[in-house]
Structure 1
Amino acid sequence: MAKNSVVTARRVHRVRRALKAAANGRLRLSVHRSGLHIYAQVIDDTKGVTVCSASSLEKDLRGTLKTGANVEAAKTIGKVLAERAVAKGVKQVVFDRGGYLYHGRVKALADAAREGGLEF
């Protein structure tokens, strides 16, 4: 494994360990970003089930987004995910940034999810 991969893996595990300790049974909002797209899902770790998800790859969102790799796309995904989660009865989650810095697209997605009705 390259040094960067080891450092990233350690950061991911550190964030996830702290998150599970503070979760108190709440669902987890997990974020993944790539160079071209952004993905988010609400996960129930006790059952091992994804409750709802949203990504910039979805057919109905692709037409409205210029690209999936910018802050505007992250805001849209955050709002869509929050709407879907609230429709499923989920209000409180813990935010799993997945080792990414809380900055840029990750922060934009989190802020939009809060505006959409999720609490974390």
Structure 2
Amino acid sequence: MSISTSERKKRIRRRIRKVSSGTAERPRLSVFRSNSEIYVQIIDDTLGKTLVQASSRDKDLAQEKGTKSEIAKKVGKAIAEKCKEAGIDKVAFDRGGNLYHGRVKSLAEGAREAGLKF
């Protein structure tokens, strides 16, 4: 019997989180992808605080038109701009159990284009 996709995603998430941890010098960029939206946070795990966040539901991005991948790329650019304002230039990428494909890949490419280093 094979495992369900949600159980597979949980296993991958636990495996990633064993190794990936955010520090003050290199916080963790955490991605959550739902069926219709995408959310991203910059987290310092030593303090247990979210430093910066962006999502496709933010006021400036909610009015945007385009495909989900195009919107995810804009969210990536938005999080990179907010990181620059907060003085963050390097992050550890946590894809949250999602495959590095589609919207997650678009978000990462948008963040890299805007100057964020993984």
Normalising by the residue count of structure 2, what TM-score does the alignment of the two structures yield? 0.89
Q: Which amino acid aligns with 2:77?
A: K
Q: What do residues 93-117 of structure 1 show as CA deviations (whole Å, max 9, x unaligned)?
A: 0000000000010001001101111
CA distance in 1 between counterparts of 2:111 and 2:102 reads 14
Q: Is the 8 A contact 1:23 1:94 kept in 2?
A: no
Partner residue of 1:86? 84
Alignment partner of 1:86: what SS?
Answer: helix
Q: Which aligned pairs between 1:51-70 and structure 2 lie closer than 5 A?
A: 51-66=51-66, 70=68
Q: Is the 8 A contact 1:54 1:77 kept in 2?
A: yes
* Structure 1 segments of 4+ aligned residues over 6 angstroms from their partners: none
Give ranges in structure 2 of 5+ residues lacking alignment.
none
Normalising by the residue count of structure 1, what TM-score does the alignment of the two structures yield? 0.87
Task: Count how many residue pairs are aligned between Structure 1 and Structure 2.
Answer: 116
Partner residue of 2:109? 111
Give ranges in structure 1 of 5+ residues lacking alignment.
none
Q: Which amino acid aligns with 1:98?
A: G
Q: Is the 8 A contact 1:31 1:41 kept in 2?
A: yes
- Sequence identity of aligned pairs in percent? 48
